[in-house]
């Protein structure tokens, strides 16, 4: 019997909006989901593992894969810092009938949605405000002031892309956002047509 190809669920957001927390929560709650591990040329953070959090590639390897057409999407998110989704990663999971979940930057999310159309659900996670986002990034204590300033400037730009996503979660209250993310994903998996909704 032929296995039905899995769907795709895309979570995108400005950095610090909480999308990764929501994705981790979803992965624990819904067994049929498979996480798409992105590739990057940035250095791993202390707690990150290759092949689990990201595929950590050298800049040369990353560029070679761009030239070979190995990515579904890729983006130079910050100067010299690349992120992308490998075709092999997506298709091997879909071919097993798994629904693939993406935790990607905003432009990457739009590109995947364009490529897969109705087979994909695109969810945009946003902070209640830029001030709240700044507070979260400062609270992380993983970056210096210059890096936070760049992230906030990028976040303001990325917030303008909200209109290209199927669903929007305003992540102010994490428990409410977790519930919204479960509802959105289960509705999509059960065949509900994408109608534009905002959740908080």
- Confidence band for 192, pLDDT divided at 50, 70 and 90: confident
pLDDT of residue 198: 64
Per-residue pLDDT averaged across 79-86, rounded?
94
Per-residue pLDDT averaged across 105-110, rounded?
92
CA separation (Å) from 5 to 95, 97, 138, 194, 199? 5, 5, 41, 19, 29
Q: How much of the chain, in percent, has pLDDT values that exceed 90? A: 70
Cβ-contact 160, 12 below 8 angstroms: no
- What CATH superfamily is the domain 8-199? P-loop containing nucleotide triphosphate hydrolases (3.40.50.300)
pLDDT tens for each residue of 129-161: 898 888 888 887 777 888 888 889 989 999 999
Q: Where are the domains of the chain?
A: 8-199
Kindly report the pTM of this predicted structure.
0.85
- Confidence band for 187, pLDDT divided at 50, 70 and 90: very high
């Amino acid at each position: 019997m032929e296995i039905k190809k899995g769907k795709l669920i895309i979570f995108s957001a400005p950095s610090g909006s909480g999308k990764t927390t929501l994705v981790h929560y979803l992965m624990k709650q819904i067994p049929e989901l498979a996480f798409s591990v992105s590739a990057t040329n940035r250095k791993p953070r202390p707690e990150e593992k290759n092949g689990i959090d990201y595929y950590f590639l050298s800049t040369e390897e990353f560029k070679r894969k761009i030239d070979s057409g190995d990515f579904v999407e890729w983006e130079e998110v910050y100067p010299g810092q690349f992120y992308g989704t490998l075709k092999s990663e997506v298709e091997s999971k879909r071919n097993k009938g798994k629904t693939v979940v993406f935790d990607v930057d905003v432009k990457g999310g739009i590109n995947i949605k364009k490529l897969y159309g109705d087979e994909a659900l695109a969810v945009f996670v946003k902070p209640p405000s830029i001030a709240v986002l700044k507070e979260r990034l400062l609270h992380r204590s993983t970056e210096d002031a210059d890096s936070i300033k760049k992230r906030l400037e990028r976040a303001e730009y990325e917030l303008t892309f909200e209109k290209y996503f199927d669903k929007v979660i305003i992540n102010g209250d994490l428990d409410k956002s977790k519930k919204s993310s479960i509802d959105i994903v289960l509705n999509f998996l059960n065949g509900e047509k994408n109608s534009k909704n905002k959740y908080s």
